[in-house]
Amino acid sequence: MILPGATLGVLGGGQLGRMFTLAAITMGYRVVVLDPDPHSPAGHIADQHIQASYRDHAALQMLGDECNAITTEFENVPADSMEFLEQLCQVRPNAEAARIAQDRIREKTWLQEIGLPTAPFAPVYEANDLDDALSGLATPLLLKTASMGYDGKGQVKVTSLDDAYAAFSTLGDTPCVLEKMVELEREVSVILARGADGHTVVYPVGENRHRNGILDTTIVPAMITDEMSAEVTGMATRLADAMDYCGVLAVEFFCTPDGELLINEIATRPHNSGHYTVDACATSQFEQQVRVMCGLPPGDVSLHSPVVMTNLLGDIWAGGEPAWETILRQPRARLHLYGKREARAGRKMGHFNCLAASTDAALGIVAGIRETMGF
């Protein structure tokens, strides 16, 4: 076990790194953040901020020498850099897990190899692959970049071969997946924590609702049957076991109108849809991240009450500083701002959690806040 007083490192200094840092400091650990951004939200509150590229070996050496264990806050940290750090100290999750999650072709192929369902897809490495890819799939389709796409970015709807060629060019002639657009009843996500010994705990399933491709709200408990909840939980646990995973893992599922469950994507880190855990669960996903990377047993994942998490995007700053008193006047609402210096449209600047006796009551509080604040 790595106990309080030790030093933990995190690759990435955005809001997820910031919330990890807050959890670790609260538990008595020192934290070192490596992030190239001089205004990194996590670097601002950490004990030390190494401002450098994720590929800077001198900076990685400094981080590895300083820390007892290292984690990541986003899955696109170069896997080679993680492998370098693995020679110096404990890195959880490991480079191999990151390598699977940071490439959609590799991720979806691996999921199918272990017998877990995804939407029908075909890999597209170059334009010449589009004819064969399109011939095996029914339109409409989505062409998605194999790496770096998030929040609806890096994807284009395709209904014909001409569309596909134009989309591939628009996306930079980079490797992509061509994926069938699935008719959705809802999207749900599972957040779990798995220790190196295989001990796994799973949070209550969340139901995700999006606006313009960006997560808007997560409702917990999800409005699904107990049978479906058990099924997605079992699939996520099976995935973590197959990966021999250690850390916090998020698995997103598409639920179709006929009851089919398809894995959309995985994230080898805490997840936006798990932010409700900070206020509504016995152990937050960020404390959990600290616990499993340090070899401590996972904490209790019990839900205190139903909850709705709502993202706050930069759009609401368009008319000046938002009226935070609208949220703060609600006794069962909890505001979380990420300390980012610049608000931009579509940028995640914070979130708030509303706890209530039922999900309908929590949704009612959210609706009132939205109406008053105008978003």
Please tell me the predicted confidence (pLDDT) of residue 151. 65
- Region 177-198: mean pLDDT is 96
- Region 311-323: mean pLDDT is 95
**pLDDT greater than 90 at residue 290:** yes
Please tell me the predicted confidence (pLDDT) of residue 119. 95
How far is C-alpha 285 from the geometric centre of its chain's CA atoms? Answer: 11
Average pLDDT taken over every residue of the chain: 96
Q: What is the pLDDT confidence band of residue 366, given thresholds at 50, 70 and 90? A: very high
Please tell me the predicted confidence (pLDDT) of residue 75. 84
Candidates 150, 144, 175; CA nearest to 75 is 150
Distance CA 373, CA 327 (A): 9
Q: Tokens 């604040």 label which residue?
A: 373
Please tell me the predicted confidence (pLDDT) of residue 152. 64
- Region 221-240: mean pLDDT is 97
* Surface-to-core class of residue 56, CB atoms within 10 Å of its CB (0-12 exposed, 13-18 middle, 19+ buried): middle
**pLDDT greater than 90 at residue 111:** yes
Q: Tokens 């990194």 label which residue?
A: 40
The percent of residues in the chain predicted with pLDDT above 70, rounded, is 99
Three-state SS sequence of 80-144:
HHHHHHHCCCEECCCHHHHHHHCCHHHHHHHHHHCCCCCCCEEEECCHHHHHHHHHCCCCCEEEE
Distance CA 94, CA 83 (A): 8
Amino acid at 331: P
Question: What is the CATH number that goes with domain 186-373?
Answer: 3.30.470.20
Tell me the backbone φ, ψ of residue 210, rounded to 5 degrees. Answer: -115, 155
Other beta carbons within 10 Å of 48: 16
Please tell me the predicted confidence (pLDDT) of residue 277. 98
For the stretch 26-60, pLDDT in tens is 999 999 999 999 999 999 999 999 999 999 999 99
- Region 137-157: mean pLDDT is 85
- Region 318-345: mean pLDDT is 96
Tell me the backbone φ, ψ of residue 259, rounded to 5 degrees. Answer: 90, 5
Domain ranges in the chain?
Answer: 7-91, 120-180, 186-373
Q: Over the Cα atoms of the chain, what is R_g?
A: 20
Assign domain 120-180 to its CATH architecture. Answer: 2-Layer Sandwich (3.30)
Please tell me the predicted confidence (pLDDT) of residue 280. 98
- Region 324-345: mean pLDDT is 96
Q: What is the pLDDT confidence band of residue 317, given thresholds at 50, 70 and 90? A: very high
Please tell me the predicted confidence (pLDDT) of residue 359. 96
Distance CA 174, CA 123 (A): 11
Please tell me the predicted confidence (pLDDT) of residue 147. 87
Q: Regarding predicted confidence, which is higher, 149 or 98?
A: 98
Please tell me the predicted confidence (pLDDT) of residue 293. 97
- Is 7-91 in CATH node 3.40.50.20? yes
221 upstream amide cis, omega within 30 of 0: yes
| Non-local CB neighbours of 351 within 8 Å, separated by 6+ positions | 272, 275, 309, 310, 311, 312, 336
Entry pTM: 0.95
Distance CA 146, CA 78 (A): 15
**pLDDT greater than 90 at residue 148:** no
Backbone CA torsion sign across 150, 50, 283, 234: positive
Q: Regarding predicted confidence, which is higher, 244 or 319?
A: 244
For the stretch 54-104, pLDDT in tens is 999 999 999 999 999 999 998 889 999 999 999 999 999 999 999 999 999
* Surface-to-core class of residue 216, CB atoms within 10 Å of its CB (0-12 exposed, 13-18 middle, 19+ buried): middle
